[in-house]
């Protein structure tokens, strides 16, 4: 059995090399793991443990396993696994002395089938863990990239994608609804996240993420990849419609034209990838009003009113442009709001004037809010809160930033202001409805009189 040891050692080292190469893990880690396995096997086979040393000779292909034992007096051996009597020690080394150490060579081939099996199990487990960690680190560093793979199967609505080294998943919520895939179909998606699970790293892909659209344009438009054109914002309703705001750092290059491409070739390549998702390319502007007007294309906006405190913009359009600006089921308005990052109201001039008239008529002075003394009112006004209506509109955090107002006081002030404002608005609307009814009745009476004549 001992004569077979060099051949066996060579086979083990060759196996280590293949494992390291196939599993794409560090060879030193594989060797360290085998070392742990051999120590465990030695403990089971020879009753030794922590005192076992394993050395690898890469040049000769030899694995040397030694047990280091303390030399003690013959009648002082308490643990044969780590101690050896001086008489027995001198059979191996004539210079052995009490208090010294003796290195005893353990034949690797004598470990036995079970011990070798234990070593193999430890090695396989550690290599698997190392491989999982390597995959996790590799894909963690690739978050934000477009990943290509092959559909492996559909499981409970989720698409499992074979990436070669590992498997990824496109959850149902990250899929474009109208798309259908079959096993073996090629697929591209955005690497959204990498999760640690009991079964190993879970690579999560998405085809609905706004950044997927951005990355696709980066692939199709060299000017974006080179940084000449910037994508400032993206909004999507996956598979249906999207808006993308672009800006050129070079005045000579039209950002919209560059993204569209010759005869629409560039944008159409993206549209095909996204299952005919309609894409509006919007020229970005740092002027919020101009940007919103462009974002609401194809509707024409007459003017934009900006409320910076509430981060709200009102787009005023003609009557015949209202439905176009809002879009089917509010889609155009939603995408414009997402693209600009502002809350957007779309209305006609008449409706805007009605709202302004109501706001003016129902403004309640701070003095009418119980619990607001002169000092409190001065502090509120210094913070830009000029009326009870403002108390209702501002956030709780804004109120808490006013000196002398705590959470309890802020909530009470908002509650009191809300009651007063609601009563004022209700009274105004009731009076307006009454006047409108009277006007309609008068008009109806007038028409009846004319008909009688």
Is the model more confident about 13 or about 375?
375
Compare 141 and 165 and report the one with higher pLDDT: 141
Q: What's the CATH code of the domain at 101?
A: 3.30.1480.10
Sign of CA dihedral 285, 290, 295, 298: negative
User: pLDDT category, 246, cuts 50, 70, 90?
Assistant: very high
Q: Is residue 447 part of a domain?
A: no
Three-state SS annotation for 67-106: EEEEEECHHHCCCCCCEEEHHHHHHHCCCCCCCCEEEEEE
Alpha carbon distance 343, 164 (integer Å): 44
Q: Are residues 58 and 27 in the same domain?
A: yes
User: Is residue 275 located within the same domain as residue 316?
Assistant: no
Residue 36's pLDDT is: 74
pTM above 0.75, yes or no: no
Among residues 400, 421, 414, 424, the alpha carbon closest in space to that of 371 is found at 414
Query: End of a domain among 327, 349, 371?
Result: 349
Write the CB contacts of 396 (distance below 8 Å, at least 6 apart in sequence). 407, 410, 411, 414
Lowest mean pLDDT among 42-51, 80-89, 97-106: 42-51
Structure tokens of 168? 């990824």
Instruction: Give the chain's end-to-end CA distance (angstroms, integer).
Output: 129
pLDDT digits (tens, 9 = 90+) for 269-315: 999 999 999 999 999 999 999 999 999 999 999 999 998 888 899 99
- pLDDT score for 119: 66
Mean pLDDT calculated for residue range 435-441: 81
Task: Give tens-digit pLDDT for 327-369.
Answer: 999 999 999 999 999 999 999 988 888 888 888 888 889 888 8
pLDDT attached to residue 59: 66
The reply to whether 195 and 302 lie within a common domain is no
Whole domain around residue 405: which residue ranges? 363-439
- Whether 313 and 202 map to the same domain: the answer is no
**Beta strands per DSSP E along 97-177:** 101-106, 146-155, 158-162, 167-170
* Within-domain flag for 120: yes
The answer to whether residue 451 is domain-embedded is no
For residue 316, pLDDT over 80 is answered with yes
Query: Which pLDDT band, with edges at 50, 70 and 90, does 390 fall under?
Result: confident
Express each pLDDT in 109-141 by its tens digit.
Answer: 666 666 667 666 777 777 788 788 888 999 999
The answer on pLDDT for 171 being more than 90 is yes
Q: Domain ends where: 249, 280, 311?
A: 280
**Could you give the CA distance from residue 160 to residue 168 in angstroms, rounded to a whole number?**
6
Judge whether 18 lies within some domain.
yes
In a domain, 35, yes or no: yes
What's the pLDDT score for residue 49?
Answer: 56
pLDDT at 4: 39
**75 & 109 share domain:** yes
Q: Which two tokens stand for residue 117?
A: 């099996």
* Domain-located, residue 1: no
Rounded to whole angstroms, how far apart are CA atoms 115 and 40? 8
For residues 351 and 363, what is the distance between their CA atoms, to the nearest angstrom? 18
Task: Tell whether the torsion through CA atoms of 377, 379, 380 and 383 is positive or negative.
Answer: positive
Element (H, E) at 237: strand 229-237
Distances (CA, A) of 147 to 165, 170, 176, 189, 278: 13, 11, 16, 6, 23
What per-residue confidence (pLDDT) applies to 331? Answer: 95
Q: How far is CA 273 from CA 186, 208, 213, in A?
A: 12, 12, 9
Once rounded to an integer, what is the mean pLDDT over residues 212-219?
96
Whether 96 is in a domain gets the answer yes
Residue 310's alpha-carbon distances to 57, 255, 301, 329, in angstroms, are 73, 31, 21, 25
Give the chain's domain count: 5
| pLDDT score for 443 | 76
User: Average pLDDT for residues 236-252, to the nearest whole number?
Assistant: 95
The answer to whether the CB of 74 falls within 8 A of the CB of 85 is yes
In a domain, 74, yes or no: yes
Report pLDDT for 7. 43
Q: What is the mean pLDDT of residues 422-442?
A: 85
The tens digit of pLDDT for each residue in 12-43 reads 556 666 666 666 666 677 677 777 777 777 77
CATH of the domain at 270: 3.30.300.20
Q: How confident is the model at residue 104 (pLDDT cuts 50, 70, 90)?
A: confident
24 and 127 inside one domain: yes
Residues 14 and 130 in one domain: yes
Q: Report the mean per-residue pLDDT for the chain.
A: 85
Phi, psi of 74 (to 5 degrees): -55, -35
């Amino acid at each position: 059995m001992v004569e077979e040891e060099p051949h066996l050692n060579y086979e083990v080292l060759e196996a280590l090399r293949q494992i390291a190469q196939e599993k794409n893990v560090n060879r030193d880690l594989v060797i360290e793991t085998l070392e742990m396995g051999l120590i465990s096997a030695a403990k089971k086979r020879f009753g030794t443990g922590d005192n076992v040393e394993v050395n690898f000779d890469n040049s000769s292909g030899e694995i040397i396993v030694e047990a280091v034992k303390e030399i003690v007096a013959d009648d002082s051996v308490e643990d044969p696994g780590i101690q050896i009597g001086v008489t027995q020690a001198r059979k191996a080394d004539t210079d052995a002395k009490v208090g010294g150490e003796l290195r005893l060579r353990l034949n690797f081939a004598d470990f036995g089938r079970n011990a070798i099996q234990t070593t193999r199990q430890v090695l396989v487990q550690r290599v698997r863990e190392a491989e999982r960690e390597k995959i996790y680190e590799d894909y963690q560093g690739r978050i934000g990239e477009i990943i290509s793979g092959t559909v492996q199967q559909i499981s409970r609505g989720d698409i499992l994608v074979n990436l070669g080294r590992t498997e990824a998943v496109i959850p149902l919520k990250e899929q474009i609804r109208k798309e259908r895939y079959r096993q073996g179909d090629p697929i591209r998606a955005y690497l959204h996240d990498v999760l640690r699970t009991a079964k190993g790293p879970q690579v999560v892909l998405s085809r609905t993420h706004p950044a997927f659209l951005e990355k696709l344009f980066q692939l199709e438009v060299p000017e974006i990849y080179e940084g000449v054109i910037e994508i400032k914002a993206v909004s999507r309703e996956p598979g249906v419609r999207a808006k993308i705001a672009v800006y050129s750092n070079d005045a000579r290059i039209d950002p919209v034209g560059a993204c569209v491409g010759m005869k629409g070739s560039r944008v159409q390549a993206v549209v095909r990838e996204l299952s005919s998702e309609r894409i509006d390319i919007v020229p970005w502007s740092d002027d919020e009003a101009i940007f919103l007007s462009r974002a609401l294309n194809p509707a024409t906006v007459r003017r934009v009113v900006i409320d910076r405190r509430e981060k709200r913009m009102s787009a005023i359009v003609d009557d015949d442009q209202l439905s176009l600006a809002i879009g089917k089921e509010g889609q155009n308005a939603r995408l414009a709001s997402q693209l600009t990052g502002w809350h957007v109201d779309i209305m006609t001039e008449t409706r805007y004037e009605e709202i302004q008239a109501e706001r003016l008529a129902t403004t309640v002075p701070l003095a009418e809010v119980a619990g607001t003394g002169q000092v409190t009112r001065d502090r509120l006004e210094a913070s830009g809160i000029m009326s009870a209506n403002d108390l209702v509109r501002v956030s709780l955090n804004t109120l808490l930033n006013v000196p002398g107002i705590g959470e309890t006081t802020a909530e009470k002030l908002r509650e009191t202001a809300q009651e007063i404002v609601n009563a004022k608005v209700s009274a105004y609307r009731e009076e307006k409805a009454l006047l409108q009814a009277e006007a309609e009745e008068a008009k109806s009476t007038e028409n009846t009189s004319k008909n009688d004549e």
